[in-house]
Copies of this chain bind each other. A is one copy, B any other.
Amino acid sequence: IHTRPDPGREQRKGAPEVILGATKETTQIISMAHGLLAGTGRAIISRLRPESVLPLQTEFQAYTVRTLAAARAMAIYRPDYIRKQTGGHIGVISAGTSDIPVAEEAGLIAEEMGCRITTIYDVGVAGLHRLFGPLRELLTQEVDVIIVAAGMDGALPSVIAGLVPVPVIGLPTSIGYGLGGNGVAALLSMLQTCAPGLSVVNIDNGVGAGITAALIANRVAQAREHQSR
């Protein structure tokens, strides 16, 4: 069976191809990773199942391997690979502790696209007072865009989008049970936001949130770049 990888994506889109590990055999991941390493010098794998971690680390001993347990992700680089720094700066906020893995996945992708990440975790609306200090500090550091990961009621992205002057990406997570559980209420609440400037990606789509945020931040950074030159 013949597949058609998209080596030109990074060039064309400014966003890397990502291997979705959850639904692939370890051998399939290894083969796809070799392909990407040959083509672009880097392979990123998301939603890695625990049993794939060791075989991948073993296979790619000769490479630089960055394993992010919390994000269930891995990045493998050719020894000579140098990750670019674009100067883009992204805030990543999570409502609860259970939202952190998805938030981390978003952060990882954005970092791999050259952005700097500042995180504020576990500041959900059940105790909103925890949010204001760190958020003020974040804005002082001039982030270009903020990702807000939240499950359950999904209220935090609306609260933040009501306060900050930068675009906010709502990242619903599959946290919560009962009616509207698994992130459905969170996603719907974000789609129904009464705050301006909030767009969303699908439930648990940290990769999508990270790419979108990085495309925004990198475009801003590029403009800044030109300026400093």
- Name A residues whose Cβ lies closer than 8 Å to a Cβ of B: 1-6, 8-9, 12-15, 23, 70, 95-98, 100, 104, 121-128, 130, 144-145, 151-155, 158-159, 161-167, 169, 172, 174-181, 183-205, 207-209, 211-212, 215-216, 219-221, 223-224, 226-228
| Nearest CB on B from A168, distance (A) | 8
> Pick the contact of A4 from B23, B130, B151, B204 — CB < 8 Å?
B130
Number of copies: 8
Q: How far is the CA of A178 from the CA of B203 in the complex (A)?
A: 5
Q: Which residues from B are CB-within-8-Å of A181?
A: 192, 202
Give 4 nearest A-B pairs by CB, closest first. Answer: A227-B227, A180-B188, A178-B203, A223-B223
| Nearest CB on B from A219, distance (A) | 5
**A–B complex contacts, Cβ < 8 Å, 26 sampled:** A1-B70, A8-B127, A12-B127, A23-B98, A125-B155, A125-B158, A126-B162, A127-B162, A128-B159, A153-B154, A155-B155, A155-B189, A169-B199, A172-B178, A178-B202, A179-B184, A179-B187, A179-B188, A180-B188, A187-B191, A189-B189, A197-B212, A198-B201, A199-B212, A223-B223, A227-B227
